[in-house]
């Protein structure tokens, strides 16, 4: 009995000052860094570091859907494969899909199906690959957030990016973005993904125990977090694609236009505001 009490005391996930074990406040995200366009072969790619998570996402397509019987004559398929590297977790994971990753792949495919303009690419497939290289709870949210940037990097037309974050309950306190310990010993976990511009929820899962009030608090925290993630996603794309005038001039200095022969000069414009002014 004493032992159990001892363990429970050790498992305290919220400190006396109300902060979490890693020093975060309840509504604080772990550090997130996103980079767009990191792979050469893929049509689009992105890399995300989110707390201790390291996740790569790549997109191929729209390309011919295989096998052919899966093809939809009216629209594109959006297919996702979520996979964990064997070395991404502390006990080696056997390579290949397990039931968990099959389910995650399915709900992520469905989340993106809601935003991709599928009707523009009949009979094709947009293939999204998410590889978890190092896992620290919240890999599906990290993968989805990165995959969204990879889709944009591939130039796949979408209504908006999708941003994803989980929230949950630890020591009876609703918190956003649980880390590994909090996820293992917490009371509830609720990953979600939204379309930030419209507020549509395109992924929602929950396990554990939440009252209706707690659920609302959790959702509000997640929504707040996804808006911050949305900014980071757009920043990553801007860093990849925005070019300043200076960059352009550096790459190809302006060439003066060839002088026009006198006779071919266009006649001076005739308007009501001649050289004399009004």
CB of 246 to other proteins, least distance (A): 27
Under rule CB under 8 A, residue 87 binds other proteins: yes
Under rule CB under 8 A, residue 238 binds other proteins: no
CB-nearer residue toward other proteins: 105 or 226: 105
Check if the beta carbon of residue 147 is closer than 8 Å to that of residue 139.
no
Sheet containing 124-134: give its strands across.
32-36, 44-50, 53-64, 124-134, 77-84
Among 20, 65, 77, 88, binds other proteins (CB under 8 A): 88
Q: Count interface residues toward other proteins (CB under 8 A).
A: 30
CB-nearer residue toward other proteins: 15 or 63: 63
Among 60, 112, 121, 230, binds other proteins (CB under 8 A): 60
**Choices 29-37, 58-66, 185-193, 258-266; region in contact with other proteins by CB under 8 A:** 58-66
**Choices 16-24, 52-60, 165-173, 211-219; region in contact with other proteins by CB under 8 A:** 52-60
Among 40, 69, 99, 209, binds other proteins (CB under 8 A): 40
Among 13, 32, 108, 131, binds other proteins (CB under 8 A): 131
Under rule CB under 8 A, residue 109 binds other proteins: no
Under rule CB under 8 A, residue 158 binds other proteins: no
Check if the beta carbon of residue 225 is closer than 8 Å to that of residue 29.
yes
Among 41, 68, 69, 99, binds other proteins (CB under 8 A): 41
Question: What is the token pair recorded at 187?
Answer: 């009371």
Choose among 190, 241, 205, 264: nearest CA to 35. 241
The DSSP output letter for 165 is E
Sign of the dihedral defined by the CA atoms of residues 46, 198, 103, 218, in that order: positive
Under rule CB under 8 A, residue 129 binds other proteins: yes
SS3 249: helix
CB-nearer residue toward other proteins: 183 or 200: 183
Please list, in sequence order, all residues whose beta carbon lies within 8 angstroms of the beta carbon of residue 24, skipping any fewer than 6 positions away.
Answer: 30, 175
Residues that bind other proteins (CB under 8 A): 39-42, 45, 52, 54, 56, 58, 60, 63, 81, 83, 85-92, 95-97, 127, 129, 131, 133-135
């Amino acid at each position: 009995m004493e032992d159990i009490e001892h363990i429970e005391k050790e498992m305290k996930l919220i400190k006396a000052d109300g902060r979490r074990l890693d020093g975060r406040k309840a509504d604080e995200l772990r550090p997130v860094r996103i980079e767009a366009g990191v792979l050469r072969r893929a049509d689009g790619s992105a890399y995300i570091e989110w707390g201790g998570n390291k996740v790569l996402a790549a997109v191929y397509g729209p390309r011919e859907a295989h096998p052919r019987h899966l093809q939809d004559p009216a629209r594109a398929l959006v297919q996702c494969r979520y996979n964990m590297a064997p070395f991404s977790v502390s006990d080696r994971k056997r390579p290949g899909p397990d039931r968990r990753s099959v389910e995650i792949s399915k709900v992520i495919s469905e989340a993106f199906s809601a935003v991709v303009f599928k009707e523009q690419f009949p009979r094709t497939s947009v293939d999204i690959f998410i590889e978890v290289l190092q896992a620290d709870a919240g890999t599906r949210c990290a993968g989805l957030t990165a995959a969204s940037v990879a889709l944009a990097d591939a130039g796949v037309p979408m209504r908006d990016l999708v941003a994803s974050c989980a929230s949950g309950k630890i020591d009876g306190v609703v918190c956003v973005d649980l880390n590994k310990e909090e996820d293992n010993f917490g009371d509830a976990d609720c990953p979600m993904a939204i379309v930030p511009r419209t507020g549509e929820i395109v992924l929602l899962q929950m396990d554990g125990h939440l009252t209706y009030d707690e659920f609302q608090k959790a959702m509000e925290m997640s929504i707040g977090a996804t808006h911050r993630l949305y900014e980071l996603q757009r920043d990553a794309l801007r860093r990849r694609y925005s070019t300043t005038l200076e960059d352009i001039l550096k790459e190809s200095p302006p060439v003066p236009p060839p002088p026009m022969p006198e006779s071919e000069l266009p006649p001076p414009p005739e308007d009501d505001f001649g050289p004399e002014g009004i």
